[in-house]
Amino acid sequence: MARKKYVFWLLLGIFSVIGAAKTVTVESRWQKTPIQVDGDIGDWMAPLFHSEKSLQVDYAFCNDADNLHLIFIFKEQKYLSSLAQTGFTIWLNDQGKKKKKLGLRFEKKTLAAAELIAVMEKKSGPLTEAKKKEMLAKPAYIINQFDAVDGDNNDQTDLIFKQSILPEFTSMSASGRLAFEFRIPMGSGNGLNLAPGKTVTVGFDWGGSTKEMRRQLLQHGGYEDGGGRGLPESPDLDPEGMGQRDSGGLPSQRGPKHYVFWCQLTLAAENK
């Protein structure tokens, strides 16, 4: 009985330490001049950067009265996991909780010319016939696209963004590093509830398995490899050996890792 009590209190102490771990607090810098969303690390000052050392990533924020900018740099390619398939999601929670309440999912997509025309006309209005003809001459396009989603992965884009100013992102690879740069509009024209001086909990989310990848797993008994279709295994960041799980609750030890981490962000006010 004494041994059981000892084990109980030991485990309680361990879980208490884990539960007491604080979310990293970061500050955004006030940006006086516009930043081009081009993935150029040179636009960002080194003292701004914060690191998640376990994943070998650096990140930094800056903002003005209208936009929040983020740069996110992968220093080791192996930690990209299946980002190319899942996209990169930025979660925003204005209640100070590490909970997936509202997210912006950024990803590259291949669209047929007719599909891209439909997307552009939905966002900006009708295109001229000459422009459509020019675009249809090319069968497909690779575009940077975003969707607003809730914690259950339901599309909230039309509900959150009722104005023409939309988020954007780009990426650039240099010196063995991959940088993603994002611009997120603020103000009353959208439902993100971001503003200078406000504090919000931010989550960074990528990797894991999409529905299509899980379907492939069920059909073939594992992820395909060879021919450029394979999905690389990521290093084991789960020392407890419990395995990562995707949103459907299926074990994903045989597939790519799903990574999520959070920070507490305070946006800069104009007088800083």
Q: Across the chain, what does the average pLDDT equal?
A: 81
Measure the CA–CA gap between 101 and 38, rounded to whole angstroms: 28
Q: What is the pTM of this model?
A: 0.77
Measure the CA–CA gap between 237 and 55, rounded to whole angstroms: 9
Average of per-residue pLDDT across 227-245: 31
Average of per-residue pLDDT across 5-23: 43
The pLDDT, as a whole number, for residue 1 is 52
pLDDT over 50 at 271, yes or no? yes
Long-range contacts from 243-246, C-beta under 8 angstroms, 24+ separation: 244/208, 246/208, 246/209, 246/214
pLDDT in tens, 115-170: 999 988 887 789 999 999 999 999 999 989 899 999 999 999 988 988 768 899 99
DSSP 63-126: E-SSEEEEEEEESSGGGGTTHHHH-EEEEEETTS-SS--EEEEEEEEEEEHHHHHHHHHHHH-P
Instruction: Report percent pLDDT > 70 for the chain.
Output: 78
pLDDT over 60 at 3, yes or no? no
The pLDDT, as a whole number, for residue 254 is 62
Least confident interval from 36-40, 141-145, 204-208, 222-226? 222-226
Least confident interval from 33-37, 61-65, 66-70, 260-264? 33-37
Average of per-residue pLDDT across 186-215: 91
Write the CA distances from 189 to 57, 124, 150, 162, 201, integer angstroms. 32, 16, 19, 6, 21
Of the two residues 77 and 23, the one the predictor is more confident about is 77
The pLDDT, as a whole number, for residue 223 is 54
Least confident interval from 24-38, 55-69, 224-238? 224-238
pLDDT in tens, 43-85: 887 778 999 999 999 999 999 999 999 999 999 999 999 999 9
pLDDT in tens, 168-199: 999 999 888 999 999 999 987 788 999 999 99
The pLDDT, as a whole number, for residue 90 is 98
- Report, in angstroms and rounded to the nearest whole number, the Rg of the chain calculated over CA atoms: 21
Measure the CA–CA gap between 246 and 214, rounded to whole angstroms: 10
